[in-house]
Structure 1
């Protein structure tokens, strides 16, 4: 197998690089690579019904993220929604969730 870049692709890349101007380069700040997670995160394993996994896979693909990234976001959102709950906040959340369920039921 030949791992060479085709000449047409190489020419296109070279043209893009040559078109890059000093004015453009000087206007773009230097970036810095960062890695937010300093060490490996603990692993959590979940059992979900196949249709739930399929729905997660479809939603993750449509958002351009991995299933684990999507699920992690859902978990963090859920935890954040329960922080500092008092009875009033819990009732407001329950009313909001109930309204969302009613809206979905009426839409289907």
Structure 2
């Protein structure tokens, strides 16, 4: 999955057809309700997310939404074995960070 490519393709398609009227027989359809959530972040975290989104060329909200949905999908499929494997991988990552001196 290449999020940057997908977003750019959708933007180009949208821009190319923005002046084309919809056919008479086409009716708008609301697929599902969206719910807006708010979250508090430190200024540093918010700045980091904005920088990453800019580097990827995607909107901040799309980046955050992707992270949330990926985390939700991962939780839905979590078993005890998966949770243990994730903890082991996180512990290995922490050991590498400590060895490199990258711990704040």
Q: CA RMSD in A?
A: 1.9
TM-score by length of 2: 0.60
Q: Can you give the 5+ residue segments of structure 1 that lack an aligned partner in the other structure?
A: 1-36
Distance 1:84 1:40 in 2: 24
> How far 1:39 sits from its partner (Å)?
5.0
- Cα distance 1:84–1:39, how it changes in 2: closer, same or farther (>3 A)? closer
Q: Can you give the 5+ residue segments of structure 2 that lack an aligned partner in the other structure?
A: 1-29
> Residue 72 of structure 1: which of 62, 65, 75 is its match?
65
Distance 1:52 1:97 in 2: 20
Q: Larger relative contact order (C-alpha < 8 A, sep ≥ 6)? A: 2
> Residue 53 of structure 1: which of 46, 50, 56 is its match?
46
Distance 2:46 2:35 in 1: 21
TM-score by length of 1: 0.58
